[in-house]
Amino acid sequence: MDQPIVVKVGTGVLTRAQDATLDGAALLRLVNAIAQTVGDFGKCVLVSSGAVGAGVTAFGLNEYPKDLATKQAVSAVGQTRLMHAYENLFGHFRMNVAQLLRTADDFRDPERRDNTKATLSRLLNEPAVVPIVNQNDTVAFRDYCVGDNDMLAVRVAELIGAKMLVIFSSIDGLYAPGDIGGEIIREVDDIDEVMNFAEKKTGKMSQGGMQAKLKAVRRAVNGGIETCIANGREPERLQDIVAGDGYCTRFRAQKQPA
């Protein structure tokens, strides 16, 4: 595979619902799936949520912090925990990780955008390295925010000319309205036809939701990037998804990438 893939994983996948601590078993399965996919298909950039979720216990919180200062402080603690976990787990597969924390200016300012692209390209050319990207929550606010990490993943995919974006969520994919728990929609050719299929709902440790995901998906497919929403609790599906199959909702690209 010449083009890299981008995998985005949400907080709900990486942390335990009852106490928001990092879920070691879920992390191990995710890392194993990425390691196997990188070995078989090429290069992967991981856009990982979970920093705030990983840090809340240090502050005695049981939900996502509401004020900016607490959110940024919690993220500062949680980011170290998250990267330490990734470093240890990928190390079992003799792989290295690279951390890239970014704000909106890193994609908006031409020079900073070029620098970010050059750094990612260099990392992707290095054997056995997985770049892990997250928004720099310790400094990002208002105009400095890229958006949620679904949108950040799209911006990264655009930047590196990704073949595919896989968004790992806590559900199997997109459901028709009123059919949650039934059969997911397996393939979407026109993203505009399903934009009203999701309400704006979030978990207590997350910011996004299916509505935010669909907005990110629309930008991705309109830019020529095939995008899939899949269950991050079943990350072993990743190889099949990248190969063109796998249990997920697959959104077909609307045009050839630029």
For residue 250, the one-letter residue type is R
Q: Give the residue from 154, 177, 174, 180 showing the smallest Cα distance to 165.
A: 154
204 marked ligand binding residue? no
Burial 169-203 (b: 16+ CB within 10 A, else e): bebbbbbeeeeeeeebbeebeebeebeebbeeebb
71 marked ligand binding residue? no
User: Residue 138, Cβ neighbours under 10 Å: how many?
Assistant: 16
β partners of residue 228: 166, 250
149 marked ligand binding residue? yes
8 marked ligand binding residue? yes
Q: How far is 160 from 125, CA to CA, in rounded Å?
A: 12
Binding-site residues, in ranges, read: 8, 49, 137, 149
Residues annotated within a binding site for ATP: 8
Q: Binding site for substrate: what residues are annotated? A: 49, 137, 149
